[in-house]
Amino acid sequence: MARLDLSCGGVIPMHSHSGASEILLIPEGSINAGFISLNNIAYTKTLKKGDIMVFSKGLLHFQVNSGPVPALLWSSFSTSNPGLQVLSNALFSNNLPSG
């Protein structure tokens, strides 16, 4: 389980966990969260205090605090080694030859 403090305007960029599903709880504040389904449909939701969202293993997902106050998030995974791949790093910070 991990505690995430997301300041106003804070972003957890699009990422995935190849080894685990994730459950996200919002005990304070509100955030916009979303994921992209396996058939490339984007789903977004404003999560408020007390809300939860589940991200299936391997799905790309993100969180943004666009609210007026900091948000507290608790994240838990279905395994102790969920893995992490941040999409922007995978696309633009890889070691593929560029020319």
Distance of CA 43 to the CA centre of its chain: 12
The Cβ-side half-sphere exposure at 24, using a 13 Å CA radius, reads 28
15 annotated to a ligand binding site:
yes
Vertex 48 angle, CA 21 and 89, to 5°: 45
18 is in an annotated binding site: no
Consult the annotation and say whether 53 binds a ligand: no
CB 14 within 8 A of CB 62: yes
Q: Is 17 annotated as a binding residue?
A: yes
Binding residues, by number, are: 15, 17, 22, 61
Binding residues for oxalate, by number, are: 17, 22
Binding residues for Mn(2+), by number, are: 15, 17, 22, 61
